[in-house]
Amino acid sequence: MSEYINNSEKRKELLKRVIRQLHEGRTVDEVKAEFAALLEEVGPVEIAQIEQALIEEGFPEMEIKRLCDVHVAVFRESLDQQPPPESLPGHPIHTFRAENEAAAKVLDALEEAIEALKAAPTDADRLREARERLQRMREFDKHYRRKEDLLFPYLERKGFSGPSTVMWAIHDDIRGGWKALDVLLEAGPADDPEDFRDRVSGVFEPMATAIREMFYKEENILFPTALQMLTEGDWLAIRAQEPEIGYAYVEPGDRWPPEGVPVAPVPTATPAAVETAQPPSPEVRALASVLLHLDTGTLTPEEVNRILNGLPVEITYVDKDDTVRYFNRPRERTFLRAPAAIGRKVQKCHPPASLHRVQRILDDFRSGKRDVAEFWIQMKGRFIHIRYFALRDEQGEYQGTLEVVQDVTEIRALEGERRLLDEEE
């Protein structure tokens, strides 16, 4: 096999063969024994690229997710030898790593609380402490959100999408674990402490394992790959958008970006457009004041922007090619959206578990089967109404989709009539 190791294409095919054999049922030890020489030199970027290539060849993404931990087990010895890429405080990767370190301690504290609760399921103080530590653990969702809404879109523009889809699905599994554990702790042991112990263990243990395995996958595969694939302009744009989503447990340092390097503005078209970070020219500023002649009036772009942001609803426009082109920023928002979503395929902006619903709506809009789809959910005590509208031209041809999100909690509670202003009553 040694004659193939330095041949790039044959090396890739051998690595694909490693993963295929794992999925066919061979054990980690069997595969490692056969491919020992090859596995000694495998790097994180190579593993990510091989998974991406398999997905592009038709290998199911969810099958990659199912055995993702097995892949890591095979390549772990090689990955452990890879020196971690250097990054300065303030760089997005440095912040991600600091969050992982803090989250590991939060998870350990939650585990201690869970073990104490299992020893005394009816102890109200231990139950309260477990719930408090779980809420602290759930703050780590900001870490996953920044991956999904900022890091993944920039990697996708480099052709790196399969592994990020797999990770998002694992994030959702972890979120599901948090929610299920919260429900259990809220209900308490009732009349069957033994059953309560078993159910708590059955939820907590796989969730904790998934979080710890994700630490490893990020540190040894995702982050080194991202550092190699993304440009400084990409990182500057990511850094500029991070505060809107927020951070888990830590605040970013101030040693990056280096002095004299301006933080790139958020993108207005695609993330690639922010790399130069040049101020607008006089011509561009002049164009911003051009009047827009609409069906029922004339407005400047500034007025359009002001009106859209002043609406009491959140709107997102997806064009006929399924590309996210615009979203507004009203004062009150239910779903935070990062500018990195602009230029991204809408399918990549949704969790894998809900992708089939999104695709069905788009397909129905294209075929003319329907023009509206609506949902409503309850979130943090609020009633949220979500509607999708097909946009069509004068000939009835599909031109895109408008998503409208509205918090209707107060509207649903209205009764009778009100014809006067507060000060007139």
- Average pLDDT over the chain reads 82
Predicted local distance difference test score (pLDDT) of residue 281: 53
* Spatial distance between the Cα atoms of 83 and 219, rounded to a whole number of angstroms: 11
Tens digits of residue pLDDT in 259-294: 656 554 544 444 443 333 345 555 545 555 578 888
* Spatial distance between the Cα atoms of 222 and 215, rounded to a whole number of angstroms: 10
CA 316 and chain centroid, separation = 17
CA 203 and chain centroid, separation = 22
**Average pLDDT estimate for 64-85:** 58
**Average pLDDT estimate for 168-181:** 95
- What letter represents residue 38's amino acid? L
Q: Which pTM value belongs to this model?
A: 0.68
CB hemisphere CA count around 280 (13 angstroms): 9
Collapsing DSSP states into helix, strand and coil, what is residue 191? Answer: coil
Q: Any idea what the Cα angle at residue 172 is, between residues 17 and 58, rounded to 5°? A: 30
CA nearest neighbour of 338 among 144, 153, 139: 153
Predicted local distance difference test score (pLDDT) of residue 276: 37
Q: Which is higher by pLDDT, 69 or 360?
A: 360
Tens digits of residue pLDDT in 348-366: 888 888 888 999 999 999 9
Predicted local distance difference test score (pLDDT) of residue 89: 86
CA 207 vs CA 73, 145, 203, 271, 414: distances in Å: 18, 18, 6, 33, 41
Task: Give the alpha-carbon dihedral of 147, 148, 154, 156, to 10 degrees.
Answer: 130
Predicted local distance difference test score (pLDDT) of residue 24: 72
Predicted local distance difference test score (pLDDT) of residue 5: 41
Predicted local distance difference test score (pLDDT) of residue 75: 58
* Spatial distance between the Cα atoms of 252 and 272, rounded to a whole number of angstroms: 23
Tens digits of residue pLDDT in 361-392: 999 999 999 999 999 999 889 999 999 999 99
Report DSSP state, residue 323.
Answer: B
DSSP state string for 260-291 = T-PPPPPPSS-GGGGSS-PPPPHHHHHHTTPP
Does residue 69 register a pLDDT over 90?
no
Predicted local distance difference test score (pLDDT) of residue 52: 75
Does residue 64 register a pLDDT over 70?
no
* Spatial distance between the Cα atoms of 360 and 363, rounded to a whole number of angstroms: 5
Tens digits of residue pLDDT in 13-50: 766 676 677 667 667 566 555 545 555 555 556 666 77
- What letter represents residue 181's amino acid? L
Could you give the percent of the chain with pLDDT greater than 90? 49
CA nearest neighbour of 113 among 126, 123, 122: 126
